Amino acid sequence: MCAVARIVKRAYKYRFYPTGEQAEELLRTFGCVRLVYNKALEERTRAYTMQGRRVSYAETSAMLTAWKRTQELAFLGEVSSVPLQQALRHLQAAFVHFFAKRAEYPTFKSRKKSRASAEYTRSAFRWRNGRLYLAKMDGPLNIVWSRPLPEGAEPSTVTVSRDNAGRWFVSILVEEKIRPLPPVEPAVGVDAGVTALVTLSTGEKIVNPQYERRERRRLAKAQRALSRKAPGSKNREKARRRVARIHARIADRRRDFLHKLSTRLVRENQTVVIEDLTVRTMVRNRSLARSISDAAWRGLRSMLEYKCDWYGRNLLVVDRWFPSSKLCSACGALRDTMPLNVRRWECACGAVHDRDVNAARNILAAGLAERRNACGAGVRPQESPLGRGDWL
């Protein structure tokens, strides 16, 4: 029996190389987007703190129209209006999440620290014969098509961005049919670590590539060179770009590795059980904080969540307080303590355990047991049977 395909929204990200005119237009657009967002946030903050009044998206849209008519901000009318309106919509969404207590209060966008981006909807771009034309631009973007878009896909939203290393990217959002993978029997427990990025209940250990550690010497050298450059000079900007390129290389390699690992786990197993880790607390350990951040467990969990959802797999999350390392997977005996330096231990029943493999097996058993206890309640992918937590 064929599985029913799902229609999902999926973004395809590509690198592109703008002409001088296109780069100048996009940089102006980025600046106007940041300005509109910050001015709207300032007005909404003033109304909220001084009058106790919530400002709606429609009111900020009217403010934008008024700003364009002033002599001081007339330049806002020189760029496409769609990215400016989208910035107001993003601000509205941020306030919705804040008032629902799902996020912190929105903050102002910084020219140096915030991501430079602009979002174009259907009315602000044209898609013709595989070429993308943005508003206010005559020619198409020179996109490097590293992978094809789904056949017959029509972009609904296009987001253009520029990272700190000076690279330009375009993210194309399309609707795509994704068919679930054929059902398989195996289930796997996954224990996250530092030396071994993950240890599987099958006994396999996947070594942490530690991309940040590999580049640490080059990064330190580049940062020292940056610190010696005069603020505001062209040489300082070149040195800053050099540091940014090293960071980008680390992030790209890490993301590629996590994608391959998460895809493999989803393809080979019907059920994936992971542990709910409070990484926000774990990174307070000064001796492990850098290694924990380099492991990027939060990124792996996010990938497992949406891939399990797409491909019809089950993702179960075991409670953060479950004593996976101190519990004997053979007899169920619980030890009082288990210091981090203990990597192998012997239980009173005679079983000799590798600490990480034992923890992975306990995580798998706990996840499957909780799912059986649900007894038809329907454990959905991306849901935790015992509660959600914070991964990095």
Strand partners, 350: none
The vertex-106 CA angle with 100 and 107, nearest 5°, equals: 165
pLDDT of res. 308:
95
Cα 305 to Cα 301: distance, rounded to the nearest angstrom = 6
Q: What is the 8-class DSSP label of residue 203?
A: S
- Model confidence band, residue 186 (pLDDT cutoffs 50, 70, 90): very high
Among the listed residues 107, 254, 266, the one whose alpha carbon sits nearest the alpha carbon of residue 188 = 266
Per-domain residue ranges of the chain: 6-178, 187-208+255-374
pLDDT of res. 33:
97
pLDDT of res. 380:
40
- Model confidence band, residue 2 (pLDDT cutoffs 50, 70, 90): low
pLDDT for residue 1 is more than 70: no
Cα 205 to Cα 202: distance, rounded to the nearest angstrom = 9
Active-site residue identified among 25, 119, 176, 191: 191
pLDDT digits (tens, 9 = 90+) for 204-259: 999 999 999 999 999 999 999 999 999 999 999 999 999 999 999 999 999 999 99
pLDDT of res. 379:
39
pLDDT for residue 25 is more than 70: yes
Among the listed residues 193, 198, 181, 356, the one whose alpha carbon sits nearest the alpha carbon of residue 268 = 181
pLDDT of res. 103:
93
- Model confidence band, residue 285 (pLDDT cutoffs 50, 70, 90): confident
The vertex-348 CA angle with 202 and 357, nearest 5°, equals: 15
Cα 98 to Cα 92: distance, rounded to the nearest angstrom = 10
Domain 187-208+255-374, CATH number (from 3.30.420, 3.30.70, 2.40.128, 2.60.120): 3.30.420
pLDDT for residue 360 is more than 70: yes
Tokens linked to 259: 């994608």
Q: What percent of the chain has pLDDT over 90?
A: 70
Q: What are phi and psi of 307, to 5 degrees?
A: -75, -40
- Model confidence band, residue 391 (pLDDT cutoffs 50, 70, 90): very low
pLDDT digits (tens, 9 = 90+) for 370-381: 888 765 444 343
Tokens linked to 16: 């592109």
- Model confidence band, residue 19 (pLDDT cutoffs 50, 70, 90): very high
pLDDT for residue 384 is more than 50: no
pLDDT of res. 118:
97
pLDDT digits (tens, 9 = 90+) for 218-232: 999 999 999 999 999
Tokens linked to 164: 């700190």
Summarize the confidence of residues 272-283 as an average pLDDT: 82
pLDDT for residue 21 is more than 90: yes
pLDDT for residue 67 is more than 80: yes
Active-site residue identified among 119, 212, 356, 370: 356
For residue 370, what are the CA distances in angstroms to 86, 321, 365, 387? 43, 14, 9, 12
pLDDT for residue 269 is more than 60: yes
356 has catalytic annotation: yes
390 has catalytic annotation: no
59 has catalytic annotation: no
pLDDT digits (tens, 9 = 90+) for 304-344: 999 999 999 999 999 888 888 889 988 988 888 888 888 89
pLDDT of res. 174:
95
pLDDT for residue 153 is more than 90: no
pLDDT of res. 252:
95
Whether 305 and 381 have beta carbons less than 8 Å apart is answered as yes
Higher pLDDT, 51 or 14: 14
Global pTM? Answer: 0.86
Summarize the confidence of residues 351-375 as an average pLDDT: 87
For strands 271-275 and 314-318, give the pairing.
parallel
pLDDT of res. 374:
64
Active-site residue identified among 275, 294, 309, 370: 275
